[in-house]
Amino acid sequence: MTDLPRMQHIFASGLVSAVGVSVAYISYTQEPAAAYLFPRIISTVFVVLALWTFGKALLGRTKIGNGLVREAMINIAPGLAVSLIFVFWAAKALGFYTASTIAFFVLLSLYDPAPHGELKSWIKRILITAGFLVVMYGLFARLLNVFTPREIFF
Q: Tens of pLDDT along 87-125?
A: 888 888 888 888 999 999 999 999 999 999 999 999 999
- 94 is in which domain, residue-wise? 69-154
Taking the model in full, what pTM does it have? 0.66
Question: Distance between CA atoms of 68 and 61, rounded to whole angstroms?
Answer: 18
- Do the beta carbons of residue 132 and residue 118 sit within 8 Å? no
Looking at the structure, tell me whether residues 151 and 86 fall in a common domain: yes
Work out the number of other CB atoms within 10 angstroms of the CB of residue 112: 14
- Do the beta carbons of residue 7 and residue 54 sit within 8 Å? no
- In this prediction, residue 9 has a pLDDT band, given cuts at 50, 70 and 90, of confident
**Category of 32 on φ-ψ map: left (φ > 0), alpha (ψ -120 to 50) or beta:** beta
Instruction: Examine the fold and report which residue of 68, 101, 117 is the final residue of a domain before the chain moves on.
Output: 68
Looking at the structure, tell me whether residues 85 and 141 fall in a common domain: yes
